[in-house]
Amino acid sequence: MPLMNYSDIVSNLPLFSGISEEEKKRLLKNGKLRHIASGDYLFHNGDVIHHFYIICTGSVQLLRETPDGKKITTDISTRGRTIGKAEILNTSTHHNVSAFALEDVTLLEFPAKWLKDAASNPVIALNILTSLSQYSHMVEVESEQKTTMSVSQRVGCFLQRICVMHGLDKNSFVLPYSKSLIASRLGMEPETFSRALTKLKEHGISIDDKKIVLRDMQAIEDFICEHCSMLGNCSTHQLLTAENE
Amino acid sequence: MPLMNYSDIVSNLPLFSGISEEEKKRLLKNGKLRHIASGDYLFHNGDVIHHFYIICTGSVQLLRETPDGKKITTDISTRGRTIGKAEILNTSTHHNVSAFALEDVTLLEFPAKWLKDAASNPVIALNILTSLSQYSHMVEVESEQKTTMSVSQRVGCFLQRICVMHGLDKNSFVLPYSKSLIASRLGMEPETFSRALTKLKEHGISIDDKKIVLRDMQAIEDFICEHCSMLGNCSTHQLLTAENE
DNA sequence: CGACACTTTGAAGACGATCAACGCCGGTGG
DNA sequence: CCACCGGCGTTGATCGTCTTCAAAGTGTCG
């Protein structure tokens, strides 16, 4: 993944794809650049919603906490992705997740109402609709996988997606997050995740610490898609939709 | 729930809320009224997407099938809801679910591209964004519940939502769908659903065949929200968002 | 009446969570 | 430099929950 400077990032935001440079500039005038240190929260579940964010660098964990203190990772957002879109359009007044900086993060911050204004531009509205419906579909599929697939299958599926979404080399890449975080993101315990990785070694995936090799794609497909309801096969499908982002 | 005739239904569609009668008429000119007999499919997973639909009467089951023939219910859509929105905005060319008529169904059918045109009206775009982000949030919460809550808790939660979303009386209402269907919608086996209902009798819910009484709301809350990560409490939260629809 | 779908109940089995222990590493402080 | 600590990851053993399989009851419809 090539490093990008600020202007590269801004001019490649999916949110602004297809709109003129002037319009982009006009919209960006309302944005402020902000930095969040690794380990800090951008906002907490329950806070009043003031802003809409676009991530320029770093990754942000979206999470909720249960009354007994267990952290549920809803999503991990990275460069180019937005934060708060759904909550604002929802007409929620309060955040329903917390946002936590996994690394040092820089982001563009806009007043919440800016988003609805921006959505009155039909091109931007379509951009938002596209990304929202893609996200929605992803959540739907993952939810379905929780009931149809084994933990190992879901982990295998997720590894493939990480590989494609982050533009990594399937012949050798390093997990971009800690194993505990990935486990949490997939809704399972770290122990379970660890055991799942072990099992995947018998199905075309090599694992050495954080280094992954998707060695035998056919074997992986065969293992993962045993119960998959997406026609063709689920991981390829998800890879494709991921590439459309 | 009062019976409504066709023009009542059309003039109360959430999709068209806030737009003028003339505009509504103009948009509806491209729609055709269609009937689907109970037990027929509107379309199948994998079919090319031709249309966008708005349900006028009846309910439609959205589902996928796994290679071993098991049916996964993605959603159950009823009057006023749309079908195919996300898939079209996704820029998918093929349906990724099947749509099955649970009863005799009447719906408005529009060419798929009509939706993107309609979305160029900022008011309609916002309406779609709102409903899509609400749906997305619901799926997210349910997905989280699959990992944090027991089957009985999820069933209790769902019963409350059925009650509110269908405008039923919590002191006595009848399940609007078969138990097997609800089980499938919740991603569990009919046997498990049946046992969950039995367990709920100890927690403020009375069940007699298909007749439900939400007898002791406080006991229900206490039981369901033990591990809920939505501040306040999850079912109330969901009730409120449901009422905003 | 018989076929069939739906539901319930029981018993067995599989799977993931939980609890506990240990190894490993990076950082801190003596 | 070494000792200590805390976070992370792995492994083993046990437990609880949901699925699966089997059987039987109920209802509807031909």
| Bridge partners (DSSP) listed for residue A77 | A60
Query: For chain A, what is the HEC assignment?
Result: CCCCCHHHHHHCCHHHCCCCHHHHHHHHCCCEEEEECCCCEEECCCCECCEEEEEEECCEEEEEECCCCCEEEEEEECCCCEECHHHHHCCCCECCCEEEECCCEEEEEEEHHHHHHHCCCHHHHHHHHHHHHHHHHHHHHHHHHHHHCCHHHHHHHHHHHHHHHCCCCCCCEECCCCHHHHHHHCCCCHHHHHHHHHHHHHHCEEEECCEEEECCHHHHHHHHHHHCCCCCCHHHHHHHHHHHC
What per-residue confidence (pLDDT) applies to B177?
96
Mean pLDDT, residues A107-132: 94
Q: Could you report the per-residue pLDDT of B104-159, keeping only the tens digit for each?
A: 999 999 999 999 999 999 999 999 999 999 999 999 999 999 999 999 999 999 99
pLDDT band at A232 (very low <50, low <70, confident <90, very high): low
Q: How far apart are CA A195 and CA A6, in angstroms?
A: 41
Among A17, A90, A224, A237, which would you mutate to test the B interface (most chain B Cβ atoms within 10 Å of its Cβ)?
A90
Distance, angstroms, CA A178 to C1' C26?
Answer: 15
Tokens of A109: 């911050």
What per-residue confidence (pLDDT) applies to B67?
83
Q: Could you report the per-residue pLDDT of A70-113, keeping only the tens digit for each?
A: 999 999 999 999 999 999 998 899 999 999 999 999 999 999 99
Tokens of A172: 């050798």
- Quick check: A176 CB within 7 A of strand D? no
Compute the nearest-CA separation of B172 from chain A (Å): 31
Sign, CA torsion A186/A187/A191/A192: negative
pLDDT higher than 70, residue B166:
yes
Mean pLDDT, residues A237-241: 50
Distance, angstroms, CA B92 to C1' D25?
Answer: 47
Q: How far apart are CA A226 and CA A145, in angstroms?
A: 11
pLDDT band at B4 (very low <50, low <70, confident <90, very high): low
Among B44, B75, B97, B137, which would you mutate to test the A interface (most chain A Cβ atoms within 10 Å of its Cβ)?
B137
What per-residue confidence (pLDDT) applies to B11?
79
Nearest CA in chain B to A186: B147
- Quick check: A197 CB within 7 A of strand D? yes
Counting residues of chain B whose pLDDT is more than 70, the rounded percentage is 92
Distance, angstroms, CA A28 to C1' D4?
Answer: 51
To the nearest whole number, what is the mean pLDDT of chain B? 89
Q: Could you report the per-residue pLDDT of A32-60, keeping only the tens digit for each?
A: 999 999 999 999 999 999 999 999 999 99
Distance, angstroms, CA B193 to C1' D18?
Answer: 10
Residue with tokens 């770093």: A58
Task: For B17, list phi and psi in degrees, rounded to 5.
Answer: -65, 135
- Quick check: A180 CB within 7 A of strand D? yes
CB-CB under 8 Å, A135 with B139 = no
Contacts of B120 in chain A (CB under 8 A): 122, 125
Nearest CA in chain B to A75: B140
- Quick check: B180 CB within 7 A of strand C? yes
Q: Could you report the per-residue pLDDT of B20-45, keeping only the tens digit for each?
A: 999 998 999 999 999 999 999 999 99
